[in-house]
């Protein structure tokens, strides 16, 4: 944030959407872990629900009984503008982002306010780049999407891997993720909505490519590998067509540390071949069903936004992302791992991303940027301190 604006804001961090499932977990994480003196607030359209959440947070820390509550509604641009202008960083958990996210991005880009979300929706991210990247560059805002399980473990995991390898050499990395967990209603709605918009997703990606430059004198490319048994992951692995490899490649294009020729392949791992076949078939079936309005409506009604797994289920959940990197004649294997990926750890990642932007000494960046570009090692250090493991398993520097 420009220095002349940094000290004019009333709040360091404002959380929009705090009464949703992941939003409430993020609020509780901040209540337990925000540093003393952090000026933060909750924002949303339902004051009664927000007041009830404040009461819950006050049970964690009695000082939060006076936590400010701000009115904000995606259908009221003036309210979002007021929140953005009062805040150094705004967190939003209000999705599906393609339906509800743009007005807040617009407000933050105009106000020079840093923005973080937990979207995994490629269409939304690409459209926000096309419409607001240059506005954010001009205002000094850092627009940082994908600050949860999509896509921090992979974006920062690959950065961690690259940092173990020699500089100025071609580098190749493969990432393998395995996890155990369940989905909330909000996540299900975002995924089904994205599956139903394949044509729009393709058009948004094409519009971004027309605007976005490529690094001079360097090559960065994605590799779509083949399904196989992978010993490093101890799993059968399938190429994962998620937003995560897109984010990794954007970081690689922006950061020369990834070398003159960088490639990345991204995979999801399952324990057995029958499960791999079932996963692929299930994804194809869900994609097909999302194209048919009656089937799509039925799927959306199966889980309501705000629903989510119990604390007991979250306690038993986990994730592990392993990366194999080669370059300059060396090979390294690294790992990023933690607990419940979709909710407890996502809330942690989202909150720590906002705290990092608000409080840490970071490189000067603006516009739509990735976590690796905007925060890099500073965010890795925060996540390690918060209990997420970044390790070198083989071949470390």
Binning pLDDT at 50, 70 and 90, where does residue 231 land?
A: very high
Binning pLDDT at 50, 70 and 90, where does residue 273 land?
A: confident
SS3 annotation, the chain: CCHHHHCCCCEEEEEECCCCHHHHHHHHHHHHHCCCCCCEEEEECCHHHHHHHHHHHHHHCHHHHHCCEEECECCEHHHHHHHHHHEEEEEECCCCHHHHCHHHHHHHHHHCCEEEECCCCHHHHHHHHHHHHHHHHHHCCEEECCCECCEHHHHHHHHHHHCCCCCCCCEEEEEEEEEECCCCHHHHHHHHHHHCCHHHHHHHHHHHHHHCCCCCCCEEEECCCCCEEECCCCEEEEECCCCHHHHHHHHHHHCHHHCCEEEEEEEEEECCHHHHHHHHHHHHHHHHHHCCHHHHHHHHHHCCCCCCCCHHHHHCCEEEEEEEEEECCEEEEEEEEECCCCCHHHHHHHHHHHHHHHHCCCCCCCEECCHHHHCCHHHHHHHHHCCCEEEEEECCC
- Residue 68 pLDDT > 80: yes
| Cis ω before 151 (30° cut-off from 0) | yes
Q: What is the largest CA-CA distance in the chain?
A: 60
Residue 329, C-beta contacts closer than 8 angstroms, at least 6 positions apart: none
Q: Convert the pLDDT of each residue in 261-271 to its tens digit.
A: 999 999 999 88
Residue 122's Cβ-count burial label (10 Å; 0-12, 13-18, 19+) is buried
Among the ranges given (59-63, 114-118, 191-195, 213-217), the one the predictor scored with the smallest mean pLDDT: 191-195
Distance CA 23, CA 26 (A): 5
The β-bridge relationship of strands 219-222 and 228-230 is: unpaired
Is residue 109 within 8 A of residue 86, CB to CB? The reply is: no
Write out the H or E segment, with its range, that includes residue 77. Answer: helix 77-86
Share of the chain above pLDDT 90, in %: 75
Overall pTM > 0.85: yes
Please state which architecture CATH assigns to domain 152-340+389-394. Answer: 2-Layer Sandwich (3.30)
Binning pLDDT at 50, 70 and 90, where does residue 316 land?
A: confident
Neighbours of 234 (CB within 10 A): 13
Instruction: Find, among 379, 355, 378, the residue nearest to 38 by Cα.
Output: 355
Give the per-residue pLDDT at 272.
Answer: 80
Query: Can 3-148+345-379 and 152-340+389-394 be said to share one CATH topology?
Result: no
Mean pLDDT of 312-323: 89
Distance CA 261, CA 239 (A): 21
For 3-148+345-379, which CATH class? alpha beta
- Residue 381 pLDDT > 90: yes
Mean pLDDT of 223-230: 92
Q: Where are the domains of the chain?
A: 3-148+345-379, 152-340+389-394
């Amino acid at each position: 944030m420009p220095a002349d604006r940094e000290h004019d804001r009333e709040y360091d961090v404002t959380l929009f959407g705090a009464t949703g499932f992941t939003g409430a977990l993020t609020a509780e994480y901040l209540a337990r872990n925000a540093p003393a003196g952090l000026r933060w607030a909750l924002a949303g359209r339902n004051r009664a629900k927000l007041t009830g959440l404040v009461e819950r947070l006050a049970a964690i820390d009695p000082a939060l009984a006076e936590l400010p509550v701000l009115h904000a509604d995606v259908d009221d641009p003036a309210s979002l503008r007021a929140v953005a202008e009062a805040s150094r960083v705004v967190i939003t958990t209000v999705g599906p982002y393609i339906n509800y996210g743009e007005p807040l991005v617009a407000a933050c880009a105009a106000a020079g306010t840093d923005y973080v979300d937990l979207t995994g929706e490629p269409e939304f991210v690409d459209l926000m780049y096309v419409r607001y990247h240059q506005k954010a560059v001009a205002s000094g805002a850092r627009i940082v999407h994908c600050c949860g399980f999509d896509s921090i473990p992979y974006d920062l995991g690959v950065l961690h891997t690259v940092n173990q390898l020699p500089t100025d050499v071609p580098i190749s990395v493969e990432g393998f993720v395995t996890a155990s967990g369940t989905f909330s209603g909000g996540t299900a709605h975002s995924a089904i909505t994205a599956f139903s918009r394949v044509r729009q997703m393709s058009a948004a990606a094409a519009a971004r490519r027309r605007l976005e430059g490529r690094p001079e004198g360097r090559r960065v490319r994605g590799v779509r590998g083949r399904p196989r048994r992978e010993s490093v992951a101890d799993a059968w692995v399938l190429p994962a067509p998620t937003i995560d490899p897109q984010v990794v490649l954007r970081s690689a294009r922006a950061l020369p540390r990834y070398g003159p020729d960088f490639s990345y392949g991204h995979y999801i791992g399952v324990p057995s071949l029958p499960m791999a076949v079932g996963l692929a078939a299930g994804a194809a079936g869900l994609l097909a069903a999302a194209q048919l309005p009656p089937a799509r409506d039925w799927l959306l009604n199966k889980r309501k936004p705000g629903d989510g797994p119990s604390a007991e289920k979250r306690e038993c959940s986990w994730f592990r992302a392993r990366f194999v990197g080669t370059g300059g004649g060396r090979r390294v294997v690294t790992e990023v791992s933690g607990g419940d990926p979709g909710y407890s750890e996502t809330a942690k990642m989202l909150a720590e991303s906002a705290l990092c932007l608000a409080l840490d000494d970071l490189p000067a960046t603006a516009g739509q940027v990735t976590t690796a570009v905007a925060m890099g090692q500073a965010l890795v250090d925060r996540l390690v301190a918060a209990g997420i493991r970044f390790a070198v398993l083989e071949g470390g520097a």
